[in-house]
Every structure is written in C-alpha cells, then in structure tokens.
Amino acid sequence: MTSNTLKTSLFETFKLTNQLTGKAKRQRKIIKIIGTANIPNQRTKVEISRKISIENKQSWKNSYSGVYNDIEKILLPQKIIEEEGRIPLKRGPRLLQKEGTGYYKLTKIGTLLLFCIEDNKVKIDFTDFTDQQDLGEELNLLYTINPVLCFLLLEKYTSTMCINGKDIMPITLENISKIDEFSLKCNLQFIKSILTHNKDNQRKILQILAHIGSKH
C-alpha cells in the first residue's frame, strides 16, 4: 500500500515571524499553477519557472533549480503531482526532442492540498477523499452551508497532518477530531457566520460539529 505521509514544506514557517518560508511559497505556487493551468504547455518545469520568476521579478533560470528540485524530489515522489504527458521539443539534441518534456497534473492528494492553500477558491467533492461516506457527505454539506468554516477545518487538518508526518488521505473522522486547536481558531468566525444562517442550517452545522466532537 502506498503511504500518503507527506514531507513537504507547504506549511513551513519562520519561527520568529510565523510567515511562510520561501520554499513553502514556491511549492504552493507550483501546485497552484499545475492545478489551475488548462494548457499542458503551462505545466512544464520551464513554464512554471517562468511564471514564478515573473511574480518574483527575476530571471526564470534563477527559479528553475528550485522548481526542478521541488518537482523531482518532493512533489512527484510524494505523489502530490504526476506526469500527465510529454510535449515534443523543437530545439536541442535529437534524443531530447524525441523524448520531449513532461507536463504535470495534480493527484487527489495534490487537489486536497490545493483546496487548503487556495483559501476556499477550489470546489471539491469530499466523498472522493474519504472512505467514510457519511463524513464525505457531511463535509460537502458544511461546504455548501458555510464554505469558510469548512476551509478552516480542512486547512487545519491538512497542515497538522503534514507537519506531524501523518497520512492526509483518506480523511477520517478520527483524524479530524484530533485537531485540538480547531475550535479555538474558528470560534469567532463560527459565531459570526452561523448567525447569518436560518435555524435549519444552524442545526445542521451544529450536528456536523457535534459528530466530529463526539470522537474526543
């Protein structure tokens, strides 16, 4: 069985400032580009490097080594991305022209990570990410009723699991219930947001959170 234990820098921060490290920002950008670019040409190492270099206002060659290492040594081995196909090259040695250059797509693990680093801008079906059908349906319902609260829960779950070197998939009720800081982090957001819903939705949200809390 393949382990989904992740050893990435996606949630790596500086101790003094609690800000994301440069490596964390670069890995997040790579995942975002691969997950949102529709054209295969835009999902190669070179084009990913070019896009990141434009944002960083530097030569793409300066970005390439970091992008290459992240893809080859972390994102591919950790099964966050996978090669989707190859694009023929028009220049360079004939052998390389024939082999072409690879372009990538996100795996399920990568898609879940994209959801958690893109601040609720990605829509996913949670039943695809858990073996517990009821949990998947509850997370889908929570996302429909209160997407911000759902994002806070999954972002905290994923970052906690990654930092502790634990499997992030499949999502389980037991693992979500271990996030002790979640209730403290989202209390204010929860109070503000739940008051905007009708009583029926309020009841459903409370039932979902009670189900999660019952595992403590």
Q: Taking the domains of the chain in order of start, what are their residue ranges? A: 22-111, 123-213
Query: pLDDT tens across 82-126, in order?
Result: 999 999 877 755 666 678 899 999 999 999 999 999 876 788 999
3-state secondary structure of 82: strand
| Stated pTM of the model | 0.83
Calpha distance 62→68 (Å, rounded):
11
Q: Which of 26, 101, 34, 102 is nearest to 67 (CA)?
A: 26
Query: pLDDT tens across 55-84, in order?
Result: 888 888 889 999 999 999 999 999 999 999
Alpha helices in 17-146 (DSSP H): 22-36, 45-56, 60-69, 94-99, 108-117, 133-145
Query: pLDDT tens across 156-190, in order?
Result: 899 888 888 888 999 998 888 777 655 545 554 66
Query: pLDDT tens across 13-64, in order?
Result: 998 888 999 999 999 999 999 999 999 999 999 999 999 999 888 888 889 9
Calpha distance 156→143 (Å, rounded):
15
Calpha distance 50→54 (Å, rounded):
6
Is the domain spanning 22-111 CATH 3.40.1000? The answer is: no
